């Protein structure tokens, strides 16, 4: 490398101290960009981990002991969640309960126990994505007898922001709610004596 005339007149031993500050200055200019990119990636990973955390049930009540083997699901045309019925049926099967879906009004006497549901969605951008996608923000499940008596109910609700479970699947969100609906125990709670000694609903 050719040096400017003033530097060529200096002794070689003096060039290192003179050029070292220039090298350090160049490094200090380049350093912030990789650090900023690392910070963005770290924040994205943390956000994704929080939003994929397990969901929870809440506000569960139950007035029967259990022992269900079959329920009928009343299809709700006002719920804009396409995968909610398959998710409910999959979770019911996990509890060894068969299900039938009716998308037209049927006499209540058609089934001994009916499962009713409602859900609301919201829109946001998942981590590492620029596209807005829907997610389940609120869901309510209930079991009723053919006579209309409330047998049990349970809920899922997203608190908002970076809430746990925001981007989990519909089935993952409903899984603890279905379990609570059948057992009377919310996520993380211990079953009480009352929930273990209530009567079994009549099934036709």
pLDDT of residue 7 exceeding 80, the answer is no
149-167 in b/e form (b: 16+ CB < 10 A) is eebbbbbbbbeeeeeebbb
Mean pLDDT of 47-75: 79
pLDDT of residue 102 exceeding 50, the answer is yes
Mean pLDDT of 48-75: 81
DSSP string, the chain: -PPPHHHHTS-GGGHHHHHHHHHHHHHHHHTHHHHHHHHHHHHHHHHHHHHTSPP--EEEEE-S-----EEEEE--TT---TTHHHHHHHHHHHTT-EEEEESS---GGG-SEEEEEEEEEEEEPPTT--S-EEEEEEEEEEEEETT--EEEEEEEE--SSS-TTTTS-HHHHHHHHHHHHHHS--TTPPPPHHHHS-PPPP--
Q: Please give the residue that has the higher pLDDT: either 185 or 3.
A: 185
Pair 147, 112: CB distance under 8 Å: no
Question: 131: pLDDT confidence band, cut at 50, 70 and 90?
Answer: very high
The terminus-to-terminus CA distance of the chain in angstroms comes to: 95
Question: 34: pLDDT confidence band, cut at 50, 70 and 90?
Answer: low
Per-residue pLDDT tens over the stretch 84-99? 999 999 999 999 999 9
pLDDT of residue 195: 44
Mean pLDDT of 25-49: 45
Domain boundaries in the chain?
Answer: 5-50, 53-196
Tokens representing residue 181 in the block: 């609906």
pLDDT of residue 203: 42
Q: How many CB atoms lie within 10 A of CB 65?
A: 14
Q: What CATH number is given for 53-196 in this structure?
A: 3.30.160
pLDDT of residue 202 exceeding 50, the answer is no
| 7 vs 15: CA distance, rounded Å | 8
């Amino acid at each position: 490398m050719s040096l400017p005339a003033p530097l060529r007149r200096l002794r070689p031993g003096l060039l290192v101290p003179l050029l070292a500050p220039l090298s350090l200055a160049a490094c200090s200019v380049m350093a912030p960009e990789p650090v900023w990119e690392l910070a963005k990636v770290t924040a994205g990973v943390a956000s994704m981990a929080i939003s994929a955390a397990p969901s929870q049930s809440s506000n569960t009540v139950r007035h029967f002991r259990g022992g269900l083997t079959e329920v009928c699901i009343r299809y709700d045309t006002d719920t804009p969640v396409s995968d909610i019925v398959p998710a409910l049926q999959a979770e019911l099967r996990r509890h060894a309960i068969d299900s039938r879906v009716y998308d037209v009004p049927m006499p209540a006497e058609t089934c001994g126990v009916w499962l009713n549901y409602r859900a609301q969605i919201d829109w946001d951008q998942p981590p590492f994505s620029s596209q807005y996608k829907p997610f389940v923000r609120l869901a309510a499940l209930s079991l009723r007898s053919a006579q209309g008596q409330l047998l049990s109910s349970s809920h899922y609700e997203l608190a908002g922001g970076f809430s746990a479970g925001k981007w989990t699947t519909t089935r993952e969100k409903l899984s603890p709610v279905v379990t609570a609906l059948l057992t009377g125990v919310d996520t993380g709670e211990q079953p009480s004596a009352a929930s273990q000694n209530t009567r079994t609903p009549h099934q036709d």
